[in-house]
Copies of this chain bind each other. A is one copy, B any other.
């Protein structure tokens, strides 16, 4: 075939070679040019269309690169076998884009709130600017999978001073959020691991571990923490615990229970404790509760902490301290995964901690949250005859526990009717057999609320609950 009359539009914005390419491609796709047919030589087609030969060559090269045609030495270009795609019915429905959930409540007492009004934006901006001024290639190049050495050194120092965590920078893995670190951890743990959780717990961690295919188990708790006696008979080899301030119960694992936990872990080679130390920075009376990791002498604790709570949720930087044995697993498998935190962010955060801004921010927030906490407790004074207040003096929520016969559902519904959002303990209990076994307990978060709203909201709650 030497005739191929392609309607070329010289005035089109589409390059001529592309017009030719598209024309021939469509001829092939629609079956008008079929397998084995020979294309005209570029010289012949160029003459026929009165177009430069190099333009034709460009079109042919594109067809060749995409496999529509084949070149046979000394013979020319031939149409390839282009199999027709099997075409099933396509669901053409446009996916509705989910927008962030609007609460629609006047008073939203979420336990996950953070007071972002108080974030030191100016300091953060100044550090960002200073770091970006230095337009080094290094800043924009891929760093170590574990995270920048300087940042890990800073974190190690901070953890030792603030949390009693004993580790070298080499044991720290920096990652974009706790959820990510848990996912990374799966690469290091035995695939057949059975993971025990406190019940109630941070349900997201439970669901993630479950989704990853781990066998997950639920353990009961008492006022000293997770029941090690249950753990011993559970078949679990990993326990996910929040010893410094359990979420959501606020229970501090007692030193005796901690030792029992460490002893349990030390009894078998593949046993580990995952210590999620999510908000230990916020304690409003006495000193911070020391970490479990600092009490461990057998390399059994995987310590996870985050800057999302203490700085801002958008700062996607968490860290994990691995015991020696898991560190060597990390070096085999985990370090395959490139760092999930940009170097710029790592440098900003490092400088933010190093220059003392982080400590100042923490001290400031501790005061602000304590102020809100105190106002909340004061506002709840009238509730004391009917409720016992649990989980106070730390974190960002408290738990009023009913002393009378009432259900969490009723408390939550009545609050909702007055535009008040509170949470139920049962929201965090996984597989509850018998709710009526324990007193109704609700969760009231305060960190993200204005003081005025706390007062008004609790007054409204009093009316809603008929107290």
- Mask of A285-321 contacts with B, CB within 8 angstroms, 1/0: 1110110000111110000000010001111100000
Given A255-B68, A338-B177, residue A314 in contact with residue B224 (CB < 8 A): no
State whether B343 touches A314 (Cβ < 8 A): yes
Mostly helix, strand, loop or mixed at chain A's interface?
loop
Query: Could you tell me if B255 and A207 are in contact, using CB atoms closer than 8 angstroms?
Result: no
Chain B residues near A262: list those with CB within 8 A: 85-86
CB of A137 within 8 Å of the partner chain: yes
7 contacts between A and B (CB under 8 A): A65-B252, A95-B324, A98-B170, A116-B137, A143-B314, A176-B316, A177-B339
**Per-residue contact bits, chain A 54-68, to B (CB 8 Å; 1 contact, 0 not):** 000010011001111
Interface string of A242-271 (1 = CB under 8 A from B): 000000000011111111101100110000
One of A75-83, A353-361, A381-389 contacting the partner:
A75-83
A62-B287, A90-B299, A168-B94 known; A82-B125 Cβ under 8 A: no
Are the CB atoms of B183 and A61 closer together than 8 Å? no
Q: How far is the CB of A179 from chain B (nearest CB, A)?
A: 4
When C-beta atoms are compared, the residue in chain B nearest to A81 turns out to be: B256
Q: Which residues of A (138-166) have their CB < 8 Å from a CB of B?
A: 139-144, 146, 149, 152
Say yes or no: A256-B62 contact (C-beta < 8 A), given A116-B137, A337-B180, A342-B315: no
Q: A327 near B95 (CB under 8 angstroms)?
A: yes
Given A67-B224, A180-B337, 10 more contacts at CB 8 Å? A62-B286, A80-B256, A88-B297, A90-B299, A128-B132, A141-B313, A142-B308, A176-B342, A180-B180, A208-B336
Query: How many copies of this chain does the complex contain?
Result: 2
Partner of A87, one of B61, B91, B297: B297
Interface residue ranges of A395-415 to B (CB < 8 Å): none
A117 CB-CB contact with B under 8 Å? yes
Q: In the complex, which range does the number of interface residues on chain A fall in?
A: 35 or more
- Complex-state Cα separation, A141 to B117, whole angstroms: 11
Taking the closest CB of chain B, its distance from the CB of A347, in whole angstroms, is 10
Contacts of A129 in B (CB 8 A): 125, 129
- Of residues 351 through 375 on chain A, the ones whose CB sits less than 8 Å from some CB of chain B are none
Chain B residues with CB under 8 Å of A85's CB are 259, 262-263, 266, 295-297
Q: Mask for A112-133, Cβ within 8 A of B = 1, else 0?
A: 0010110101101100110011
A94, A121, A267: most-surrounded residue (chain B CB, <10 A): A121
